[in-house]
Chains A and B, each alone.
Chain A
């Protein structure tokens, strides 16, 4: 019975995407209500699927009644259920924000729903080519959403993303083609069994994986193919950045992990040292470069965009490490980082809506005027650094632990190197987070005086004291509530280490069997 939820979860948003346009001929602002209803339905479906999966076990659905390996199947196992839940919740929660600040056109909400449908599709699909289709849906709608404010800057960013993203998707498709050539099937489960017959060191298979991995790297914005991401995040409308940063690269990372572990399997990774070393090197550089570049930024959205580069480097590194703890860390960090980035960009967006904040310097002493928003932002930023207890710490901890274990047992320095890199990046992250917090809380600026450009503008000479403005927060209320809830969740989930372990254990044992 719950099987039917899987295709429904994909189809409902996609079909509902037509409604704002169709009904828009009659009603003016029909986009938001339709989107809200649809995403609420998706959340309900995700919750039900998660309950079933974590209660009784994974299940799948064959589209159109065609049996795999010819037919396409949608699979809900412990990993995909978690990502599905994240996608559903974040898409729904962002709508609270778009209600207040975001683009309001019906076409925007159409694209938004298409994006949701695509994201759900990526997280649930069990077929390689179907994954490509959904990746493309996600990509195309993202390009459109980034340019949603119709400004030149965002159009440029969107174009940049379009070119790079299409290249990435094409590379992925080429890789899938190679795999198809090697195995004759596109169904993920089937490919994994066929590959063991073909052999993991077959050049065709290796090339296929390399192409797929590079394609995903482009989509995930690993260094050095990340250049589209800072512009895209910075120039998109605030609400769009929130949903894109939290979900789009996340599902690409999910797809990478899924393909690496479920399709190509751990044996492939173990048999191909060159590939895993290459992945480790790229992720290590990505982690360091992303953190360093983030520390140099003064624009808030760009800063956290570069931070994403580093965090996805961390997740990609788990592919290179290929141990159970590392994969657990990768999954936990995937979900956790999605949540954190959602919260961070929501926080920045909320402060931008209330106070026009764009740069770090604009945050001066904002904590007095917007204590709740600043506090939630601070908590989320510290969670991003990885200060316990928080979901960010949990993910990093498992990854570092997996890296050290791998390094210790197999004697490879790669694992130890990744652990050191993780630690160094934590320090870098702390550096730019500390800058943000210092500006928020300790800037010593009195905001009741209008600040022109610099901090601490001299008061008007000779005019006498200004009447004191009521320091009422100008932050919009509903998004603020969502922000605070996210911050609490980020900390609360930090205590759920045992819970994560037990929930994901069936998946892990299956992968590492």
Chain B
């Protein structure tokens, strides 16, 4: 294994491809299809550039390209080594999948500002490549900040108050908090050693430097990168950032942004300090820097899993699951030993595939049925079998069930923990315990979702989230959500007006008022009230009896108006259809289940992005049952969304079954082998 350093512009090319593409994306704002083509082209080219470097990197070559010299000895340099390639291959490959999903999601949800979205996405991926290939702390810091800035438009995409507030919080945590800490750590490292370059196995001078300052530098850097990785208590930005569109939550907040935080921590542990020094920097009570890092990871892991149990909003639950799973990586990085490091690094792609699948499923459910809350998802497995099937597979992987990727990484980490416990310090056993506990908790918060989707009926299911109701369950019904709110029942309307944007107000671990019960009564009476004549046509009831005239009259919607069925184009100036701003900002009181559209979840007419409320839950008469061969025809949604879901799920399964052949495990073993001292090599 030669360690040849080769000057090659391909790392820079990988960074620039999507940056250039973002310009073209903005320029083609009038033609959505061409604009999307630019995104896909950029994603494919980027992946090709990165993949072309893979074979030689596996052989031990390192590609380097210096952009400019900032100060003497501190160049702005991109270096494609094994660790960088791991992240780069992951992010660029998943961008292709996410772009396809984005197309389906944005068009299906009729989102505004799509050009800004796709352009910001491209720039974010550019920054992610920069982080992956950064050759020293200064470079990774600059790209780290650029990533925060580039993803801000995506978080604040909806332009609502919640979105702006989430965006501000996101910037405050990552740009100011994380960035400042990383910069301080970088300056300290430079001051101590005179270099900030990533050196496999750690910068030598750090071992000789003052241990107190070295420890300070370690924690500054680790916590600075950890902010993005969602370690507690600096994780708060992550659940709030779920207000972003789902592809953003998926790729960025489960793959690129948070993984860049974890990747940064791995760079710090492996290439700045080195695993040996991290273990040796000792603190009182037998702790060492690495062990403290792992403990923080373990605490975050467990706490986030418990919080996830209480979340009714699916994306919130997934957000806390992300916080928890990322701490697996942090935990593994602090374990000194071959297995622990391999497990931690392997969890980067493993979790990425699984979490991406989960988020894509959640987004697909949102687009197709406007359902965001688990308590409304009873029986949704009938309506979206492929989606929920993929969800099931991915959740099993999260819990660490064999044959899916999560098992392999967890297995390695458990081995690493036990090794460390047996040979070095018994504290590691507690870490192992945390991992095992977390596996159980993963099942505890994913299983209800799967169970309620496939094995429960809309009119008789356990109230969710399970932990908020009494032991033994409480039977609720969510059927019949066609809204003929005569006079407007404020509470019920408010419940449905939550949409998927507001999370804090509604289900932030608070008491869930037993809406289900009241709603059951209401919906029963209302479905009885829906006035239809003999032929089944809905005839409005114009009798003024007990109608509240302070409210506008209820709209009767049969779901067959042409304007609702024809697809509206993206919000493009001078485009095909200019959105009338004043048109309909009142409640869209149609049936929540847009089953009227057949083989496309793409035409949702007048919904104004996320501003209107979403009537989640099954329509009157329960979910439409897709069965038989129709399941594989993708009738539940569109192939734009289903394809990526199934691809991500398959990758998760493949990584669980053939991790070597996929290349990831080989890369990781190369990474770890070159960074551990000889006596701790692979057993």
Query: Does A438 reach chain B (CB closer than 8 Å)?
Result: yes
Check if B582 sits within 8 Å of A465, measured CB to CB: yes
Binds A, one of B158-166, B253-261, B331-339: B158-166
Residue of A nearest to B584 (CB): A465
Most chain-B Cβ atoms within 10 A of its Cβ — which of A423, A438, A443, A444? Answer: A444
The stretch among B425-433, B476-484, B573-581, B624-632 that forms the contact with chain A is B573-581
Beyond A388-B142, A434-B171, A442-B153, whether A449 also contacts B581 by CB under 8 A is yes
B183 at the interface (CB under 8 A from A): yes
Interface pair A442/B163, CB less than 8 Å apart: yes
User: Looking across the interface, which residue of chain B has its beta carbon closest to that of A456?
Assistant: B161
A466 interfacial by beta-carbon distance below 8 Å: yes
Write out the residue numbers on chain A whose beta carbons fall within 8 Å of the beta carbon of B176: 427, 430
Given A438-B164, A444-B159: A401 in contact with B71 (beta carbons within 8 A): yes
Asked if B580 contacts A465 (CB within 8 A), the reply is: yes
Q: Which residues of A contact B175 (CB under 8 A)?
A: 430
Considering only residues 173-209 of chain B, those with a C-beta below 8 Å from chain A are: 175-176, 180, 183, 191
Quick check: is A26 within 8 A (CB to CB) of the other chain?
no
Asked whether any CB of chain A lies closer than 8 Å to the CB of B583, the reply is yes
Contact A438 B156, CB 8 Å, known A388-B142, A423-B183? yes
Chain A nearest CB: distance from B292 CB in Å? Answer: 27
In chain B, residues 555-579, which have Cβ atoms closer than 8 Å to a Cβ of chain A?
573, 578
Residues of B within 8 A of A408 (CB): 191
Given A427-B180, A442-B153, residue A466 in contact with residue B163 (CB < 8 A): no
Confirm or deny: B167 has a beta carbon within 8 angstroms of a beta carbon on chain A: yes
Query: Which residues of the partner chain B approach A365 to less than 8 Å between Cβ atoms?
Result: 159
Give the docked Cα–Cα distance between A16 and B160 (Å): 55
Which A residues are CB-close (under 8 A) to B183?
Answer: 423
Q: Are B581 and A446 in contact (CB under 8 A)?
A: yes
Query: How far does the alpha carbon of A438 sit from the alpha carbon of B166 in the complex, in Å?
Result: 12
Contact in complex: B159, A466 (CB < 8 Å)? no
Q: State how many residues of chain B have any CB contact under 8 Å with chain A.
A: 27
CA distance A303 to B102 in the complex (A): 39
Q: Is A459 an interface residue (CB 8 A)?
A: yes
Q: Whose C-beta in chain A lies nearest to the C-beta of B29?
A: A371
Chain B residues lying within 8 Å of A441, measured Cβ to Cβ, are 116, 153
CA distance A449 to B579 in the complex (A): 13
**Is A197's beta carbon under 8 Å from chain B?**
no
Which residues of A416-444 are within 8 A (CB) of B?
423, 427, 430, 434, 438, 441-444
Give the docked Cα–Cα distance between A61 and B561 (Å): 84
Assess whether A468 is in contact with B153, with CB atoms less than 8 Å apart.
no
Main SS class of interface, A: loop
**Smallest CB gap from A404: residue in B:** B187
Nearest to A325 among chain B residues (CB) is B71
Contact, CB under 8 Å: B581 / A444: no
Interface centre among B149, B163, B191 (most CB of A within 10 A): B149
Q: Beta-carbon contacts of B134-159 to A below 8 Å, as 1s and 0s?
A: 00000000100000010001001011
Q: Within 8 Å CB of B180, what residues of A?
A: 423, 427
B569 to nearest A CB, angstroms? Answer: 15
- Pair A468/B580 contact, Cβ less than 8 Å: yes
- Per-residue CB contact flags for chain A residues 446-465 toward chain B (1 = under 8 Å, else 0) read 10110000000001000011
What is the CB-to-nearest-CB distance from B68 to chain A, in angstroms, rounded to a whole number? 8
Determine which of B71, B573, B582 lies in contact with A459 in the assembled complex, contact meaning CB atoms within 8 Å.
B582
Chain B residues whose C-beta falls within 8 Å of the C-beta of A449 in the assembled complex? 581-582
Q: Is A25 an interface residue (CB 8 A)?
A: no
Chain A residues in 8 Å Cβ range of B153: 441-442
Docked-complex contact A444 and B158, CB < 8 angstroms: yes
Within 8 A of B (CB), among A462-513: 464-466, 468, 471
Determine how close the nearest CB of chain B comes to the CB of A195; give it in whole angstroms.
34
Closest to B71 in A: A401
Given A427-B176, A465-B583, A466-B582, A438 and B167 contact (CB-CB distance below 8 Å): yes
B-chain residues with CB within 8 Å of residue A397 when the two chains form the complex: 70
Q: Which residues of A contact B578 (CB under 8 A)?
A: 468
**How far does the alpha carbon of A228 sit from the alpha carbon of B153 in the complex, in Å?**
37
Q: Which of B531-569 contact A (CB under 8 A)?
A: none
Chain A residue with the shortest CB-CB distance to B578:
A468
Cα–Cα, bound, A387→B150 (Å) = 13
A471 pairs with B582, CB closer than 8 A: no
Q: B70 — which chain A residues lie within 8 A by C-beta?
A: 397
Q: Tell me, in angstroms, the Cα distance from A365 to B156 when the chains sit together.
A: 13
A365 CB, nearest partner CB in chain B, Å? 8
Q: How far does the alpha carbon of A438 sit from the alpha carbon of B583 in the complex, in Å?
A: 26
Chain B residue nearest in CB terms to A427: B176
Chain B residues whose CB sits within 8 angstroms of the CB of A423 once the complex forms: 180, 183
A442 to B167, CA, bound (A): 10
> What separation, in Å, do the CA atoms of A430 and B158 have in the docked complex?
22
> How far is it, in angstroms, between the C-alpha of A464 and the C-alpha of B585 when the chains are bound?
12
Q: How many angstroms from the CA of A471 to the CA of B175 in the assembled complex?
A: 34
In the complex, chain A residues whose CB is within 8 Å of the CB of B581: 446, 448-449, 459, 465-466, 468
On chain A, the residues within 8 Å of B149 by CB distance are 387
Given A388-B142, A434-B171, A471-B573, the answer on whether A442 and B159 have CB atoms closer than 8 Å is: yes
Given A401-B71, A423-B183, A471-B573, the answer on whether A442 and B580 have CB atoms closer than 8 Å is no
For residue B532, give the distance in angstroms from its CB to the closest CB of chain A. Answer: 31
List the A side residues contacting B573 at CB < 8 Å: 368, 471
Determine which residue in A397, A441, A471 has the highest number of CB atoms from chain B within 10 A of its CB, and name it.
A441
B1 to chain A minimum Cβ distance, whole angstroms, is 36
Q: Mark A366-385, 1 if CB is under 8 A from B, else 0.
A: 00100000000000000000
Residues on the A chain within 8 Å of B582, using CB: 449, 459, 464-466
How far in angstroms is the closest Cβ of chain B from A150?
A: 40
Instruction: Tell me the bound Cα distance from A449 to B585 in angstroms.
Output: 14
Q: How many Å lie between the Cα of A176 and that of B48 in the bound state?
A: 68
Separation of A449 and B583 alpha carbons in the complex (Å): 12
Measured in the bound complex, the distance between the Cα atoms of B573 and A430 in whole Å is 31
Q: Kindly report which residue of chain A lies nearest to residue B191, judged by CB atoms.
A: A408
CB-based contact B171/A442 at 8 Å: no
A446 to B168, CA, bound (A): 21
- Shortest Cβ gap from B401 to chain A (Å): 42
Bound together, the chains give a CA A345 to CA B175 distance in angstroms of 27
Question: Residues of B contacting A388 with CB < 8 Å?
Answer: 142
**Contact string against A for B residues 64-107, beta-carbon threshold 8 Å, 1 for contact and 0 otherwise:** 00000011000000000000000000000000000000000000
Least Cβ distance of B61 to chain A in Å?
30
Pick from A387, A401, A442, A468: contact of B164, CB below 8 A: A442
Q: Which residue of A lies closest to B159 (CB)?
A: A444
User: How many angstroms from the CA of A305 to the CA of B171 in the assembled complex?
Assistant: 25
Provide the residues of chain B in CB contact with A430, threshold 8 Å: 175-176
A423 to B171, CA, bound (A): 17
A443 and B159 in contact, given A427-B180, A434-B171, A471-B573 (Cβ under 8 angstroms) = yes
Provide the bound-state CA to CA distance between A464 and B71, in Å.
63
The interface residues of chain B lying within 8 Å CB-to-CB of A465 are: 580-583
How far apart sit A387 and B148, CA to CA, in the bound complex (Å)?
A: 13
Contacts of B71 in A (CB 8 A): 401
Q: Which residue of B lies closest to A375 (CB)?
A: B26
- Indicate with 1 or 0, residue by residue over A87-125, a CB within 8 angstroms of chain B CB atoms: 000000000000000000000000000000000000000
**Distance, CA A408 to CA B190, complexed state (A):** 12
CA distance A235 to B89 in the complex (A): 55
**Shortest distance from the beta carbon of A208 to any chain B beta carbon, whole Å:** 37
Nearest CB in chain A: distance from B73 CB, A: 13
**Chain A residue with Cβ nearest B164:** A442
Q: Distance in Å from the Cβ of A15 to the closest Cβ of chain B?
A: 46
Given known pairs A449-B581, A465-B580, the reply for A442 and B156 (CB within 8 Å) is yes
Q: A368-B573, A444-B163 are in contact. List 16 more A-B contacts (CB 8 A).
A: A388-B142, A427-B176, A430-B175, A434-B171, A438-B156, A438-B168, A441-B153, A442-B153, A444-B160, A444-B164, A448-B581, A449-B581, A459-B585, A464-B582, A465-B581, A465-B583
Can you report 16 A-B residue pairs in the complex whose CB atoms are below 8 A from each other? Answer: A365-B159, A368-B573, A387-B149, A408-B191, A423-B180, A423-B183, A430-B175, A434-B168, A438-B164, A438-B168, A442-B159, A442-B167, A444-B159, A444-B163, A449-B582, A459-B581
Q: Please name the 3 residue pairs, one residue from A and one from B, whose CB atoms are nearest each other, closest first.
A: A444-B159, A446-B581, A459-B582
